[in-house]
Structure 1
Amino acid sequence: MGAFLDKPKTEKHNAHGEGNGLRYGLSSMQGWRVEMEDAHTATVGLPHGLDDWSFFAVYDGHAGSRVANYASKHLLGHIITHSMCPPGPEGVTPTPAPAVETVKMGIRTGFLKIDEHMRNFSDLRNGMDRSGSTAVAVLLSPEHLYFINCGDSRAVLYRNAHVCFSTTDHKPCNPQEKERIQNAGGSVMIQRVNGSLAVSRALGDYDYKCVDGKGATEQLVSPEPEVFEIERALEDEFVVLACDGIWDVMTNEELCEFVKSRLEVSHDLEKVCNQVLDTCLHKGSRDNMSVVLVCLPNCPKVSEEAVKKDTELDTFLESRVEEIIEKAGEEGIPDLVTVMRHLSSESIPNLPPGGGLASKNYKPHVQCIGHAHEANTNPIMCLHWARPRGQY
């Protein structure tokens, strides 16, 4: 289940890029976990003549980072190599873009092959490394979006101002997953495989893949992904890929509405992704967190009105916090929990949808409310990690 730190590590890894008519940003953060076990892939333009294709993925490792890190570097290669678009003889013109069913079969084969390949690594084979990883991805061709999921990370598509698609989490208690687990001689207890593993599909996790007489997709834990193909549309706005550290505290709709609201006040996709992580941290997420945001041509644009409202909101919150501090008087400067309790009881207009007050609860350069007050900076943006865990 993982151990926790005394205070979260909030340093972030960021990246961004563009091409093929899209822009992307990503952010990952260790958070409260003792180790960072997430990984990601972001590739615009694929080999073998697929220059106008792109691939993005998030991998949520558990019991170690080996499988997640390896998959982030090599899964795409396995997908391409194994029947999606096999290279022809040297010097021969690449074959035309593959058909939909060929792509879907190549994705499935790529997952099974990389899982088989990693099993031959000595530390994974002899049990010295028991790590595993979920994988959620989107493969974009000029005509289609291929959503790929193995585990409980999740991808969503925001189209025409609403969530029009979401992958399904692979949990042991799902009827289809539970049936496979029981057929392999296992059980589901406390919503976990044999009372231990919280996901029913994953790469790695070879302790759960050693039932004699059962194929790779019939084991307690299956490496087989679900693949969903959706035709692209002019109304497509953005795709979000994220690990369960995000989805533990935000619904599909909340996250997409929050992302939309942030895109209306900033062009900076790294900044938007950072705000997602910080907001989830303050909503109570205790896990590693990773998010990839892929913006398509019809994504929300920065709005002067939205920027104005957001600025006015920051100014209002600053003034309210200063009032709360001044009213405290001789009782001393209140801690963040007290301030947030006051603000939460008020009706504050124009808070970011999906993020709410939690999305206005951070600012790296301010250390605590007292220092903020003395420095005449924005007190609501402070964060003091000395308070008891769970009080956000």
Structure 2
Amino acid sequence: MCVTDAEQVGTERPSSGVNNTKPWPMHCEFLQNQMGNPDKESALTGTSDRTRSGNSFPLESISEDAAVIDKKENPATFAPALRSGEWSDIGKRPYMEDTHVCIHDMAKKFGCSFLNEEAVSFYGVFDGHGGKGAAQFVRDHLPRVIVDDSDFPLELEKVVTRSFMETDAAFARSCTLETSLSSGTTALTAMIFGRSLLVANAGDCRAVLSRQGCAVEMSKDHRPSCTKERKRIEALGGFIDDEDYLNGLLGVTRAIGDWHLEGMKEMSERGGPLSAEPELRLMTLTKEDEFLIIGSDGIWDVFTSQNAIDFARRKLQEHNDVKICCKEIVEEAIKRGATDNLTVVLVSFHLEPPPPVVFQRPRFRRSISAEGLQNLKCLLEG
């Protein structure tokens, strides 16, 4: 599956580059060397023409789902009360390659300040393959790259897209210094700024929103079976084999890392068949939005999106503990036969548990006509 054009946020614009003036910790020195020049893009990033620029005004004014807001309700009166939990399990794999991150206030975490004092929360799930190096690298560095971007936090769409690409290029540099890190990872992040929710996805992790008990998929899985991804890959010289693997090697079409795999990526503006560019979905939260589930693909191997929302709602109604709920989702996935690594992050937007779903009875009684009844009888009798 892939995100349709209508679901993507932002338009193609040339990148304005990165202007980072804040000091970097020693372990991020190579990132500073790579991105320290504000006048030109790094040769590794190759994002100048491919970066999607966001709007230049605050995200609070943006909503792709404005039509769902009740006209009688002022959405500005809703303020999300964030609670988050997480749980991981190695599953039946010999190694644990999943990892995740939950940051309540990014500016406070990294010791920076900006004019708008509203907290920006950051949540991410990273599903590694071929080793855990890439997943851990992205977990440790991507949030800092985002915060140190000069356009943070008001132009989050542009910042997040650029940061995914820059982190990918930085990881390529790190692998040349330490080849043991060579690996790849899918990456799905969710950022909450006031009432704005921005989900960025590169790979087959998935984020699903519960809106009054209905599942709203905030991301689409980047797999070779996606027609749109197949066209993009073939245009760049890649191919999908008969078993639905990218270049016969990977079961995903977007990921950070994998620079060691021949023919997957190129250090050029054109890029290779395997892309680190995330697809974005942005919406304004309302009081009908209950919680967000972010899960690695092992979860979605045994849960449908709606099934996961139904299961989580029942558990939250029982005990209203988001961390225990994550643990129960993982345990249930194992009972259902999941074999992959399993990671779940759940972000609740309310302090109270989800309310019971009330189904309204139709105003008029429905009946079948005599003609319809006769037709049904004939059909049943053959």
State the TM-score bracket (shorter-chain normalisation).
0.5 to 0.7
Deviations 1:356-391 (A, max 9, x none): xxxxxxxxxxxxxxxxxxxxxxxxxxxxxxxxxxxx
1:91 aligned residue? none
1:82 aligned residue? 149
Q: 1:274 to 1:46 in 2, by over 3 A?
A: same
2:126 aligned residue? 59
Matched to 2:228, the amino acid is Q
1:136 aligned residue? 188
Q: Distance in 2 between matches of 1:144 and 1:217?
A: 32
1:179 CA drift (Å): 1.9
Q: 1:43 to 1:194 in 2, by over 3 A?
A: same
Structure scoring higher RCO (CA < 8 A, sep ≥ 6) equals 2
- Gap runs ≥5 in structure 2: 1-78, 108-112, 357-382
Q: Distance in 1 between matches of 2:320 and 2:149?
A: 38
TM-score (norm 1): 0.65
Q: 1:211 to 1:36 in 2, by over 3 A?
A: closer
For residue 61 of structure 1, give the secondary structure of its aligned residue in structure 2: strand
Q: Distance in 2 between matches of 1:286 and 1:212?
A: 29
Q: Distance in 1 between matches of 2:265 and 2:299?
A: 37
Match runs of 1:105-124 below 5 Å: 105-121=158-174, 123=175
Matched to 2:88, the amino acid is S
Assess if the C-alpha contact under 8 Å between 2:124 and 2:190 holds in 1: yes
Select 1:167's aligned residue among 209, 219, 226. 219
Q: Distance in 1 between matches of 2:348 and 2:227?
A: 34
Match runs of 1:202-221 below 5 Å: 202-208=255-261, 215=268, 218-221=271-274
Matched to 1:138, the amino acid is A
- Gap runs ≥5 in structure 1: 1-18, 86-96, 304-392
1:164 CA drift (Å): 2.6
Identity %: 30
Assess if the C-alpha contact under 8 Å between 1:20 and 1:44 holds in 2: no
For residue 158 of structure 2, give the secondary structure of its aligned residue in structure 1: helix
Assess if the C-alpha contact under 8 Å between 1:217 and 1:224 holds in 2: no
Q: 1:24 to 1:115 in 2, by over 3 A?
A: same
Deviations 1:77-100 (A, max 9, x none): 112223432xxxxxxxxxxx51xx
Q: 1:205 to 1:168 in 2, by over 3 A?
A: same
1:234 CA drift (Å): 1.3
Assess if the C-alpha contact under 8 Å between 1:59 and 1:133 holds in 2: yes
Deviations 1:132-180 (A, max 9, x none): 0011111001121001101000001111221133310001221221122
Select 2:98's aligned residue among 20, 34, 38. 38
Select 1:297's aligned residue among 340, 350, 366. 350
Q: 1:135 to 1:202 in 2, by over 3 A?
A: same
Choose between structure 1 and 2: higher helix proportion.
1
Q: Distance in 2 between matches of 1:116 and 1:246?
A: 29
For residue 188 of structure 1, give the secondary structure of its aligned residue in structure 2: coil
1:154 aligns with 2:206: yes
1:235 CA drift (Å): 1.1
Q: Distance in 1 between matches of 2:266 and 2:99?
A: 33
Number of paired residues?
270
Q: 1:153 to 1:212 in 2, by over 3 A?
A: closer
Q: Distance in 2 between matches of 1:211 and 1:39?
A: 23
1:130 CA drift (Å): 3.2
Choose between structure 1 and 2: higher strand proportion.
1
1:76 CA drift (Å): 1.1
Give me the CA root mean square deviation: 2.3
Select 1:193's aligned residue among 246, 255, 265. 246
Q: 1:68 to 1:213 in 2, by over 3 A?
A: closer
Deviations 1:112-137 (A, max 9, x none): 1111111111x456754431001111
